[in-house]
Amino acid sequence: MNITKKYTVPTVLSIAGFDGSGGAGIQADTKTISALGCYAMNVLTALPVQNTQGVRNIYEIPTQAVREQLDAIFDDIYPDAIKIGMVHTIELVELISSYLKDYRGTIVFDPVMVSTSGHKLIHDDTIQACMDLLFPQATIITPNLDEVSVLVGRTIAKVQEMEKAGIELLEKGCQSVLIKGGHLQTSELTSLLFQQHASPLVFKSQKIDSKNTHGSGCSLSSAIASQLAQQFPLAEAVATALDYVHEAIKGSKDLVIGKGNGPLNHFHNPSKLIFHEMER
């Protein structure tokens, strides 16, 4: 008699904002998580009205609606990893921090503050709340140079400045920090991973001449969460995620979608789902 085996896959929850043009936010998260072999779920935190040319407006999602979304997911599908993106009010920060205080999994927090087009996406008084409440809970935070400049209160534009900023963020209570070097004005890009009680790890790649980088930060943090959901060590998860995003940008280099900063090619090299046979 043939017996059908049941199986499951690693699950990743994206708590983030919306992008109707499909290149960033929960749309980019879902594509990335799916491409890397995990099952994607979403909790919507905000409704930005945007396209490849920029953000036109941001509509808030009621805090109670966010709580109910979290309840619906956690009551049914417990996530192996969580990616947090756009949380632009103190009330949302407090809600998410409180909700996840007993969460048994890894958290990747991409502190979304500035869009690719330069539009500020977070309220000024929310930044400190993120640092006080969400940074200590996160397994890793993934700021770009614009965001880390906001976090440390000075312009960070060189690798040497990134080194000092990363150590400073660890001293502020972060478990680990990946400072992304995508905005460096050099032909070779450098990203730095800082972990408590360890020397910084350096990741280098050649800069790709492309304007299609919309949602690259969302995609990277989701890629890290996907690797962590599959139980890869943090350094390996970061290395794989950086390589994935690099190849996704390369894969969209000649793609024409929209009139502004186009999306990545998230499915440039889709992986097979990693099935785990369920225990009986």
Span 121-140, mean pLDDT? Answer: 91
When pLDDT is cut at 50, 70 and 90, the band that residue 113 belongs to is confident
Ranked by mean pLDDT, which of 50-64, 178-192, 225-239, 248-262 comes out on top?
225-239
What is the model's pLDDT at position 41? 98
Q: Which class is domain 9-277?
A: alpha beta
Q: Cβ(16)–Cβ(108) under 8 Å?
A: no
**Model confidence, pTM:** 0.93
Domain ranges, ordered by start, for the chain: 9-277
What is the model's pLDDT at position 276? 46
Q: pLDDT by residue (tens digit) across 178-199?
A: 999 988 888 899 999 999 999 9
What is the model's pLDDT at position 55? 86
CA distance 158 to 181: 9
Q: Cβ(264)–Cβ(23) under 8 Å?
A: yes
Which helix (DSSP H) or strand (DSSP E) does residue 171 occupy?
helix 159-171
Both tokens of residue 176?
A: 């680990």
CA distance 202 to 191: 6
